[in-house]
Structure 1
């Protein structure tokens, strides 16, 4: 049977004890609906509770909750048990709550999510073999994650998705990774080895369809889009300072974006995802649809990404084209048009300016 996680937004008057009692009522009637309550998370501070349930479908979960106590979930998504454990550290009740008369779990599902990318897209695509750099860097990261209690959710040769319970641990881990990186990267690697880290925070079930999707998306955009080697949200900054008696984040090492920048980034990337491959799209359309004058858009985009609107769109298209070439999704002309370029010749010129070689050279050297 599939596994689901649901979300309950709990009122102020509801405590962890109340949630434990409701969970107990669920267990009494779950057999009537073919369900099995596996465990749950409760966060009195953020007023949320999340149940992990094996069930035939979403309706069965709603009916079970309604019969048991009437508190129907606000959202239900299907999940993978292994992924849940990677993010949250468990898929069963905590040891301290087992074998107790009332299983009270006051354990937040709130997590700090870090995305790490260790080279530009061209060199990420090249890195099919487990190079000496990759070995050294992976060994260093593994030790650092263990030191700061980070759980690796997903990794490949050049990127890592990591979950933390503590904001302070995540920040200190990022700084340690940044410090170690320069000793692992040899002098001749400097031009093609970069390190970017994005850190955001959130809960597993929101209005999105996938587990921690909102938080992962934001961490990815901070890592890949925003100008800065370590980029964090305003919430991360605030939580870190709260945990550390108002000790401020060092702006020389970490860039924190404010709420307005975060909203602009979200609006920007949601919009770009819908128009990036349309060849007739231009900067005038960009500014008017985003609701800014051309000068305002240019100023906001340069501040956030270091690029003008035109350069930003061209770079975005080139990254998509590079991946399409690598995956052999068509010939050069087909990919040029599919990624929004008006002609293969202009595409080749832009490609060479960005990556230092023509698309044909890339195919010869890097695609078997």
Structure 2
């Protein structure tokens, strides 16, 4: 049977005790709707609650809640049991609550998510074996550090890591330790990019933690600097540490809400047009609503690249992904990633990675 998580936006004055009582009312009649309540999360501070249950469909969830106590959820999302557990740490009631008659659970589903990406600066032949060994070593260390800071490694794809934490402080301290790995080990042809944001599992979008993942991904992908966080994360960190701010020597970039919006809009637009050969800087100016000079200044300040260089590098990263899969030849990759010709693509690829695409393919370099 499918598993659903729903979101309840709580009116003022509703407490964890009230939510526990409502949950008990659900359990009393759940059999009538062929449902089974698994657990719930309650966040009095943010006035949200989330129920997790097995049900035949979304309508059964609505009908059960409406009959039991009248509190109809604002959002319902079908979820994967393993994914829920990896983000939130459980899919059933905490052990300490199981024997309580009312089973009050004041446990927020709010999480801080960190994405770490290891990226290649170059792919020169003489350094391939060194890079492979370095990536393996980093992977082992990142997994260990995540566990040491009470985090959960939700997902790993080659050299991209997604982690979930309850504490913002743990998240940032873990990120600093991960960044130190790069500073302590000499691997000049790899760079670390870290992005951190925080949020709830269900919003108006369809994915589980979709908004928060997208934000962390954008920060770790295109934001200038090696370590970027949102203003909201900075505020939460200060709240956990008696208003003590991060020291300047951490070299963490804190984006304002306006800067975060720009980064997100830039990435959203780029994802839709990067493969189109005819797209140029003028299209960015028009669609982002910036003049040529303002767009250039904003890009250099927040991304560290001009619009032209940003689009070129984005396309080259996509091209590298295709070459690693080895499903297409060089000409196909060039045109699929928006380059005007295979010759120009080869020139740009060699300039960025220090190796010709043909040599990369022939050497069968299956790395990140």
TM-score category by the smaller chain?
over 0.9
Does the 8 Å CA contact 2:121/2:190 hold for their aligned counterparts? no
Deviations 1:271-306 (A, max 9, x none): 111111111111112101111111111111111110
2:145 corresponds to 1:147? no
2:346 corresponds to 1:348? yes
Out of 274, 277, 280, the position equivalent to 1:279 is: 277
C-alpha distance 317-164 of structure 1, shift in aligned 2 (>3 A): same
Q: Within 1, Cα distance between the matches of 2:94 and 2:110?
A: 16
3-state secondary structure, aligned to 1:366 = coil
Q: Within 1, Cα distance between the matches of 2:134 and 2:64?
A: 53
Q: Within 1, Cα distance between the matches of 2:276 and 2:92?
A: 48
Does the 8 Å CA contact 2:115/2:194 hold for their aligned counterparts? yes
**RMSD across aligned C-alpha pairs, in angstroms?**
2.1
2:258 corresponds to 1:245? no
Spell out the pairing of 1:95-174 with structure 2 (5 A cutoff): 95-120=95-120, 131-174=132-175
Alignment match, 2:335: 337
Q: Aligned residues, how many?
A: 362
Cα shift at 1:140: 2.9
2:209 corresponds to 1:209? no
Cα shift at 1:248: 1.7
C-alpha distance 138-274 of structure 1, shift in aligned 2 (>3 A): closer
Cα shift at 1:138: 3.5
Cα shift at 1:129: 11
Q: Within 2, Cα distance between the matches of 1:60 and 1:359?
A: 54
Gaps of 5+ in 1: none
3-state secondary structure, aligned to 1:52 = strand
Cα shift at 1:127: 8.4
Spell out the pairing of 1:48-87 with structure 2 (5 A cutoff): 48-87=48-87
C-alpha distance 351-181 of structure 1, shift in aligned 2 (>3 A): closer
Alignment match, 1:11: 11
Gaps of 5+ in 2: none
Alignment match, 2:299: 301
Compute the TM-score of the two structures, normalised by the length of structure 2.
0.93
3-state secondary structure, aligned to 1:272 = helix
Does the 8 Å CA contact 1:5/1:76 hold for their aligned counterparts? yes
Deviations 1:54-79 (A, max 9, x none): 11111111111111112111111111
C-alpha distance 143-326 of structure 1, shift in aligned 2 (>3 A): closer
Alignment match, 2:43: 43
Moved more, 196-205 or 350-359: 350-359
Does the 8 Å CA contact 2:121/2:191 hold for their aligned counterparts? no
Does the 8 Å CA contact 1:7/1:75 hold for their aligned counterparts? yes
